[in-house]
Amino acid sequence: MSGTPIVLLARGWVKPGGWDWVKRFACADAGVVCKAQVTGETEEEVLGKAVEHARSAHGVDLAQSTTLANFARSLIRDDGAAARS
Protein backbone atom coordinates (compact mmCIF):
# COMPACT_ATOMS: atom_id res chain seq x y z
CA MET A 1 0.00 0.00 0.00
CA SER A 2 1.07 3.55 -0.53
CA GLY A 3 1.38 6.14 2.20
CA THR A 4 -1.86 7.86 1.36
CA PRO A 5 -3.35 9.20 4.59
CA ILE A 6 -6.43 7.23 5.49
CA VAL A 7 -8.25 10.40 6.49
CA LEU A 8 -8.15 11.58 2.90
CA LEU A 9 -9.49 8.26 1.67
CA ALA A 10 -12.31 8.47 4.15
CA ARG A 11 -13.24 11.92 2.94
CA GLY A 12 -13.45 10.75 -0.64
CA TRP A 13 -10.91 13.14 -2.05
CA VAL A 14 -7.96 10.90 -2.81
CA LYS A 15 -7.62 7.39 -4.04
CA PRO A 16 -4.36 5.65 -4.91
CA GLY A 17 -4.17 5.58 -8.69
CA GLY A 18 -6.31 8.52 -9.56
CA TRP A 19 -9.50 10.47 -9.48
CA ASP A 20 -11.55 8.32 -11.80
CA TRP A 21 -14.11 7.46 -9.14
CA VAL A 22 -14.93 10.93 -7.87
CA LYS A 23 -18.41 12.27 -8.51
CA ARG A 24 -19.28 15.86 -7.80
CA PHE A 25 -22.44 17.87 -7.40
CA ALA A 26 -22.29 21.65 -7.39
CA CYS A 27 -25.30 23.42 -5.97
CA ALA A 28 -24.76 26.32 -8.37
CA ASP A 29 -25.38 23.96 -11.30
CA ALA A 30 -28.96 23.68 -10.12
CA GLY A 31 -29.38 27.40 -10.61
CA VAL A 32 -29.03 28.20 -6.92
CA VAL A 33 -26.78 31.00 -5.73
CA CYS A 34 -24.70 28.76 -3.52
CA LYS A 35 -21.08 27.71 -3.48
CA ALA A 36 -21.63 24.37 -1.85
CA GLN A 37 -20.29 21.26 -3.54
CA VAL A 38 -20.47 17.65 -2.52
CA THR A 39 -18.36 14.76 -3.72
CA GLY A 40 -18.54 11.04 -3.32
CA GLU A 41 -17.62 7.65 -4.67
CA THR A 42 -20.97 6.91 -6.27
CA GLU A 43 -23.93 8.84 -7.61
CA GLU A 44 -26.00 7.54 -4.73
CA GLU A 45 -23.54 8.89 -2.19
CA VAL A 46 -23.35 12.28 -3.86
CA LEU A 47 -27.09 12.43 -4.27
CA GLY A 48 -27.56 11.58 -0.62
CA LYS A 49 -25.28 14.43 0.40
CA ALA A 50 -26.98 16.78 -2.04
CA VAL A 51 -30.36 15.91 -0.57
CA GLU A 52 -29.01 16.58 2.92
CA HIS A 53 -27.55 19.90 1.84
CA ALA A 54 -30.66 21.05 -0.02
CA ARG A 55 -32.78 20.24 2.99
CA SER A 56 -30.62 21.93 5.60
CA ALA A 57 -29.39 24.89 3.56
CA HIS A 58 -32.33 25.61 1.26
CA GLY A 59 -35.32 24.00 2.90
CA VAL A 60 -35.92 21.90 -0.21
CA ASP A 61 -36.57 18.19 0.05
CA LEU A 62 -35.19 16.67 -3.14
CA ALA A 63 -36.17 13.20 -2.01
CA GLN A 64 -39.81 14.28 -1.95
CA SER A 65 -39.99 14.45 -5.72
CA THR A 66 -38.68 11.94 -8.24
CA THR A 67 -38.38 14.76 -10.75
CA LEU A 68 -36.20 16.83 -8.43
CA ALA A 69 -34.11 13.82 -7.50
CA ASN A 70 -33.57 12.92 -11.14
CA PHE A 71 -32.73 16.55 -11.91
CA ALA A 72 -30.13 16.61 -9.14
CA ARG A 73 -28.74 13.29 -10.33
CA SER A 74 -28.39 14.62 -13.87
CA LEU A 75 -26.22 17.43 -12.52
CA ILE A 76 -23.70 15.09 -10.93
CA ARG A 77 -20.42 15.28 -12.78
CA ASP A 78 -17.69 12.75 -13.10
CA ASP A 79 -14.50 14.46 -12.02
CA GLY A 80 -12.39 11.70 -13.50
CA ALA A 81 -13.61 12.46 -17.02
CA ALA A 82 -12.87 16.15 -16.54
CA ALA A 83 -9.39 15.46 -15.20
CA ARG A 84 -8.50 13.26 -18.14
CA SER A 85 -9.62 15.53 -20.97
Residues of this chain that bind Zn ion (CB under 5 A): 27, 34, 36, 57
Shortest gap between Cβ of 80 and Zn ion (angstroms)? 23
Shortest gap between Cβ of 34 and Zn ion (angstroms)? 3
Q: Name which of 14 and 63 has its Cβ closer to Zn ion.
A: 63
Distance in angstroms (rounded) separating the CA atoms of residues 15 and 43: 17
Find residue 77's DSSP bridge partners.
24
Distance in angstroms (rounded) separating the CA atoms of residues 55 and 47: 12
Shortest gap between Cβ of 24 and Zn ion (angstroms)? 14
